[in-house]
Copies of this chain bind each other. A is one copy, B any other.
Amino acid sequence: MAQTLDSIFAALADPTRRAILQMLLEDDMAVTDVAEPFEMSLAAISKHLSVLSRARLISQEKRGRVKWCKLDPDAMKSASTWMQGFGQFEPVDFDGFERFLECELDAPEP
C-alpha cells in the first residue's frame, strides 16, 4: 500500500499525466487520440500511459490494433483516503464539481 501510494502520487505529480486523466474523465480513448492534443511524441505519451497504468490510475484494454485507455478510480480513491487522515469529514459537498472545474482551468495543454 505504501508503495502503491508512492506510485499514485508520483504519477499525479506530472501535469501531462493529470491532463490525460482529465481527458479520460470525458470518455475512454485510444492511445493515439490521447496523444493528439500534446506537443510531444507518441512514444512519450505511451510512457506516460504506462506510468498511469502501473499506478492503476487507468486500465488499458487492447481491441484489434487499438489500445483503449479507461479511467480506474480506485487508485485515486485510496490516495484520497490516505489524505483524509489530515482532515475531518463533513457532509456531501455540492460545490465539489465547481471547484474541480476551476482547477481544470489551470491544467496545461489541451
Contact = CB atoms under 8 A, between A and B. Distances in A.
Interface residues on A, range: 35 or more
A85 B104 CA distance: 9
Given A90-B96, A94-B86, A107 B2 contact: yes
Contacts of A79: 83
A41 interface: no
Sorted from nearest, which 9 A-B pairs have the closest CB atoms? A85-B100, A87-B92, A9-B13, A90-B93, A10-B13, A1-B106, A91-B93, A9-B12, A80-B89
Interface of A: 1-3, 5-6, 9-10, 12-15, 18, 21-22, 25, 71, 73, 76-94, 96-97, 99-101, 103-104, 106-108
